[in-house]
Structure 1
């Protein structure tokens, strides 16, 4: 059965222009991860087993692996006046998708570790950014470059 126009459009939006990355990360509860990544973030679910589950995060494969008793680290690094949690992962989105995701997270009452805001204003790295944690304490960052061509621009920030 061929995909409908809307389904085909969604599939095209999910396909990155770069090869998809793969990230496996620990979670304390697989069902909790399903509810957050699938329900709150809207990531389509892929393969799974009792101790892990795949998700499509904007065209990239992330895998939540059960680690009983897992507790995420709380190390932070200063970046443009913010205490950025390290490690973290996420995606660089177009500005409209960033804003839609920020609204979705706010509606789901996700607590932002760093509220959505503009960072590096007026510089080549100018971007919208936000940080929050999943139920296992893993930090996520989503960003949107005001000029997407500058995502990999080389310059000193300090």
Structure 2
């Protein structure tokens, strides 16, 4: 595995976000205070940090593959089987997808599964998987 990344994201409700990342996404919790919580995000360090909600926050989307992809977003690339199992778990937990799990570029270079959804504080997440992981950066 490459070096783990560290990502800190804003949440306007630490407890609600903590429950989502710990219980819905089933991430192991690390250190925490009342204002932030560390999570093991598939081997990476994700930290939710309290930040008051901004009244003028706007949601932006870019058109990708005929779908409205939220910007910004973050996530990880899972192996093919893990992606399918994870998607099924999320469906069973009634996640409201922005983009339902589906396959892009089927039978082509870069064939991948992808899905998008928001956490309870409005952070967009994308999880994806490549049929052939060696094509992660293929053109």
Please state which band the TM-score falls in when normalised by the shorter chain: over 0.9
Structure number, greater radius of gyration: 1
2: CA distance, partners of 1:84 / 1:45: 28
Partner of 2:129: 144
Runs of 4+ in 1 over 3 A off after TM superposition: 70-73
Distance 1:70 1:35, change over 3 A: farther
> Please, which runs of 5 or more residues in structure 1 have no aligned partner?
1-16
Number of matched pairs: 138
Q: Show structure 2 runs of 5+ residues with no match.
A: none
Of 65-74 and 30-39, more deviation after overlay is shown by 65-74
- Cα distance in 2 for partners of 1:42, 1:116 equals 18
Matched residues in 1 for 2:17 and 2:125: separation?
Answer: 13
TM-score norm. by structure 2 comes to 0.95
Separation of aligned partners in 2, 1:54 and 1:114? 27
Deviations 1:31-66 (A, max 9, x none): 111110000001100111110000011000010001
Q: 2:44 aligns with which of 53, 56, 60?
A: 60
Query: How big is the alpha-carbon RMSD for the aligned residues of Structure 1 and Structure 2?
Result: 1.2
1:25 equivalent in structure 2: 9
Q: Among residues 111, 120, 125, which one is paired with 2:96 in the alignment?
A: 111
